[in-house]
């Protein structure tokens, strides 16, 4: 019988979950939604689990709602992930390791476990983050900056500019065959979307230049996060897209 674990990534507004069988994430079992969606996804006939692992940035009341359901459904208490000084062959750069966001830490150790060292991890979400791990397993620190949608929403909220709705379509049309890089827009909406895209890529380029100089080998670029599909058409660097890094990190001991 396979060893089944339920992995849960809990944000402030929604949950994402996936099953792991014998230490491997099963993408076909993934789901997302609010706490009610989560409960409906696991009726009484759900297979027996060996463990439930939770990564959460939510408040205690939301964590307790998940904990109570898991106790009721499987008679299991959750194991809550946390950022550590050292884990999975990675040493944190933070003097206070607990201050590094747990989802960011899990993505780092999950990437190292899956792909080795050295690495750059680029997580494109509400916030975009960049982190590097050298060939010795030393975390070199990172960047945190507004993600693509956050940049667009900020402009739409704080200005009277017409903000584009479809950043992914803009990304596909932003690269021309004749000239390198993101092409300038020729309408206000296009100028905004191209500026957002260029800002995301510019941060990556600056980060890569800095950390690559500290490594003996070229770091592999691993891309994750909900906004990755919108940006990846513009990335001309060799990379691996892996949307499961946080969950992979939950399985690292």
Q: What is the pLDDT of residue 177?
A: 47
pLDDT reading at 190 higher than 70: yes
Active site residue 229: no
* Model pLDDT, residue 159: 66
pLDDT at 152: 82
Choosing from 37, 77, 103, 229, the catalytic residue is: 103
Chain segment 33-61, per-residue pLDDT in tens: 999 999 999 998 878 899 999 999 888 99
Q: How confident is the model at residue 90 (pLDDT cuts 50, 70, 90)?
A: very high
d(CA 161, CA 28): 41
Average pLDDT over residues 182-192: 80
| Burial state string for 5-39 with b = 16 or more CB within 10 A and e = fewer than 16 | bbbbbbbeeebbbbbbeeeebbeeebeeeeeeebe
Mean pLDDT (whole number) for 201-213: 95
Q: Label residue 1 by pLDDT band (50, 70, 90).
A: low
Q: Which pLDDT belongs to residue 170?
A: 54
Alpha helices in 24-179 (DSSP H): 35-41, 60-74, 102-115, 148-158, 167-173
Domains of the chain with CATH codes? 4-80 (3.30.420.40), 83-253 (3.30.420.40)
Does 62 have pLDDT greater than 90? Answer: yes
Residue 169: the pLDDT is: 54
Q: Facing residues of 130 across strands? A: 122, 143
Q: What is the pLDDT of residue 162?
A: 60
The DSSP output letter for 97 is: G
Q: Residue 103: pLDDT above 50?
A: yes
- What's the mean pLDDT when you consider all of the chain? 89
Distances (CA, A) of 8 to 55, 103, 119: 6, 11, 25
- Interval 141-184: pLDDT, tens: 999 999 988 888 887 666 666 655 555 555 555 555 455 567 78
């Amino acid at each position: 019988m396979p060893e089944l674990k339920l992995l849960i990534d809990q944000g402030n507004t929604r949950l994402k979950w996936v099953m792991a069988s014998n230490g491997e994430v099963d993408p076909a079992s993934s789901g997302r939604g609010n706490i009610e969606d989560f409960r409906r996804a696991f009726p009484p006939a759900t297979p027996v689990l060996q463990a439930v692992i939770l990564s959460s940035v939510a408040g205690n009341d939301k964590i307790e709602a998940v904990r109570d359901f898991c106790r009721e459904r499987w008679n299991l208490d959750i194991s809550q992930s946390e950022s550590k000084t050292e884990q999975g062959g990675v040493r944190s750069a933070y003097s206070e390791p607990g201050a590094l966001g747990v989802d960011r830490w899990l993505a780092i150790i999950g990437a190292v476990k899956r792909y080795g060292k050295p690495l750059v991890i680029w997580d494109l979400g509400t916030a975009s983050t960049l982190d590097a791990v050298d060939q010795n397993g030393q975390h070199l620190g990172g960047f945190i900056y507004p993600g693509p949608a956050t940049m667009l929403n900020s402009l739409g909220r704080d200005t009277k500019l017409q903000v584009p709705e479809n950043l992914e379509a803009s990304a596909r049309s932003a690269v021309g065959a004749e000239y390198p890089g993101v092409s300038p827009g020729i309408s206000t909406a296009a100028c905004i979307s191209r500026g957002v895209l260029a800002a995301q890529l510019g941060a990556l380029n600056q980060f890569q230049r800095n950390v690559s100089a500290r490594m003996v080998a070229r770091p592999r670029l691993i891309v994750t996060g909900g906004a990755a599909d919108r940006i990846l058409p513009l990335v001309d660097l060799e990379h691996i897209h892996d949307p499961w890094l946080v969950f992979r990190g939950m399985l690292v001991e």
